[in-house]
Amino acid sequence: MSKKRIKSHHCANCSYKFRIDEAHNNYCPNCGQENHNPRLPLLHYITELAENLFHLDNKTWISLRTLLFKPGTLSKDHINNKRQRYTPPFRMFILSLAVFIIFLEAAQDTMVKRDEQVIDNLSLHEQMLRLNDTSRIGFSNPYFTGDKIYFTVAQLKELEQIPAGEIKGWLKQNGRKSWFIYQLEALMVQRNISSYLSVKDFNRHLVRIHYRVILIMVPISAFLIYLGFYRTGRMYYDALITSVHLYVFGLIAGTLVSVAVLNFIRWGLLKDTTVVLPLVMLISLALNFIPAYKKIYEYKWPSTIGRGMLIGTFNMATQIIVFWLIAGLTG
């Protein structure tokens, strides 16, 4: 999109007077200063930023079509400096992330089913005092899975008093899975008890951590791709462009799969949204990520699949670590 310019017939910097045929020059031919007065209302710049980020033109549709139906072509063309026909990668990423966030915020209450006994406007600690010991309260699992972990009020009262180092044993005593990830989830529930947030607000807080995780993971994923498909002549920049486009596809796939699953739930064909994450991962790997790696790095199929799966495993493990680090720092 061309930038709106407020021009003059003389340069304010060096007083050079433009000839009549130079009135539309974008820059002063004498000193090089831009022929534009940037003193505009703040609203103009906010509007211009929004237009630049979310303007949908022919390039946008070409870029989306190429991304969805020709895996790896968009990234490879950018790497080979064929960029004019496409929307810039980071603009595509911001647009797809914005759509994903808007959808997820709007659909959160539907994606995560809540117990009828939960009183939304009360903190978890206040709910524990009002409900009987057999009442169950559900807490969101991370990574948009939509499923829940449930604790009775009696168990929550016990958990409130358990030292962090004894949570694994407490989970085993209550017949629950005690892997590291479940210990971290129990710690989050314990933190919710001591906070002033309701279960609903705390769940929303955990969901919003994922947006920051996505932003942090783009350059980290690029580094993993760079290492996994390292070969002479390839740069980190190449892997970064690839990572951005892969995340754009993942965000689009996540939004579309979530919409489909929500409708299946309304029609009674599914009970919950636990299938969302596995479906998104399977679709992304099979239909885009692996073919894109093959197109860009030109390894043989067995090597591409093996390296791609290894990168995916490390990426997911790193994402879990980043999530819990942020959750621990932000409370």
What is the length of the chain? 331
At 59 the pLDDT is 85
Token look-up 């992330």 returns 97
pLDDT in tens, 94-119: 989 988 888 877 766 555 444 444 45
Of 302, 298, 289, 295, the C-alpha closest to 224 is: 289
Q: Is the domain of 146 the same as that of 275?
A: no
At 73 the pLDDT is 97
- Residue 79 in any domain: the answer is yes
Provide the pLDDT confidence category of residue 146 given band limits of 50, 70 and 90. Answer: low
Q: Is the domain of 92 the same as that of 231?
A: yes
Alpha helices in 118-235 (DSSP H): 124-130, 153-161, 167-173, 180-194, 199-228
Count of domains in the chain? 2
Decide if pLDDT at 236 tops 90.
Answer: yes
Q: Is the domain of 76 the same as that of 209?
A: yes
Decide if pLDDT at 218 tops 90.
Answer: yes
Decide if pLDDT at 246 tops 90.
Answer: yes
Most confident option among 56-65, 139-148, 320-329:
56-65
Q: Is the domain of 165 the same as that of 120?
A: yes
Q: Is the domain of 245 the same as that of 296?
A: yes
Q: Is the domain of 268 the same as that of 305?
A: yes
At 29 the pLDDT is 82
Q: Is the domain of 193 the same as that of 211?
A: no
Question: Worst-scoring range by mean pLDDT, 210-219, 241-250, 258-267?
Answer: 258-267
Spacing of C-alpha 323 from chain mean position:
12
DSSP type of residue 20: G
Residue 65's Cβ-side half-sphere holds a number of Cα atoms within 13 Å equal to 8
State the average pLDDT over residues 72-99. Answer: 92
- Residue 50 in any domain: the answer is no
Of 154, 176, 198, which residue is a domain's last?
Answer: 198
Residue 105's Cβ-side half-sphere holds a number of Cα atoms within 13 Å equal to 10
Q: How far apart are CA 9 and CA 12, in angstroms?
A: 9
pLDDT in tens, 159-212: 999 998 899 999 999 988 888 878 888 888 888 888 878 777 877 787 788 889
Q: Is the domain of 144 the same as that of 186?
A: yes
Q: How far apart are CA 192 and CA 186, in angstroms?
A: 10
Decide if pLDDT at 7 tops 80.
Answer: no
Q: What is the domain range of residue 136?
A: 111-198
Report the b/e string of 4-21 with b at 16+ CB within 10 A. eeeeeeebeeeeeebeee
Question: Worst-scoring range by mean pLDDT, 21-25, 162-166, 281-285?
Answer: 21-25
Cβ neighbors of 176 (< 8 A, separation 6 or more) are 182
The identity of residue 157, as a single letter, is: K
- The CB density around residue 150, as the number of other CB atoms within 10 Å, is 10
At 53 the pLDDT is 59
At 50 the pLDDT is 64
- Residue 52 in any domain: the answer is no
- Residue 37 in any domain: the answer is no
Of 150, 168, 198, which residue is a domain's last?
Answer: 198
Provide the pLDDT confidence category of residue 26 given band limits of 50, 70 and 90. Answer: confident
Cβ distance 78 to 241 under 8 Å? yes
At 292 the pLDDT is 97
At 173 the pLDDT is 92
* pLDDT, averaged across the chain: 83
- Residue 295 in any domain: the answer is yes
- Residue 213 in any domain: the answer is yes
Q: Is the domain of 280 the same as that of 206?
A: yes
Q: What does 43-60 look like in DSSP terms, one character per residue? A: HHHHHHHHHHHH---HHH
Q: What are the residues facing 138 on neighbouring strands?
A: 150
Cβ distance 199 to 192 under 8 Å? yes
Of 210, 217, 256, 259, the C-alpha closest to 240 is: 217
At 114 the pLDDT is 44
State the average pLDDT over residues 309-321. Answer: 91
3-state SS, residue 250 = helix
Provide the pLDDT confidence category of residue 294 given band limits of 50, 70 and 90. Answer: very high
- Residue 214 in any domain: the answer is yes
Decide if pLDDT at 138 tops 90.
Answer: no
Q: What does 225-277 look like in DSSP terms, one character per residue? A: HHHHT--TT--HHHHHHHHHHHHHHHHHHHHHHHHHHHHHHHTTS-SSSTTHH
Spacing of C-alpha 50 from chain mean position:
19
Q: What are the residues facing 136 on neighbouring strands?
A: 152
Cβ distance 101 to 209 under 8 Å? no
Provide the pLDDT confidence category of residue 323 given band limits of 50, 70 and 90. Answer: confident
At 194 the pLDDT is 85
Q: Is the domain of 237 the same as that of 102?
A: yes
Of 175, 198, 221, which residue is a domain's last?
Answer: 198
Between 139 and 256, the more confident residue is 256
- Residue 28 in any domain: the answer is no
At 1 the pLDDT is 46
At 116 the pLDDT is 44
Between 320 and 296, the more confident residue is 296
State the average pLDDT over residues 278-307. Answer: 94
Q: How far apart are CA 69 and CA 84, in angstroms?
A: 19
Q: Is the domain of 247 the same as that of 102?
A: yes
Q: Is the domain of 168 the same as that of 64?
A: no
At 283 the pLDDT is 93
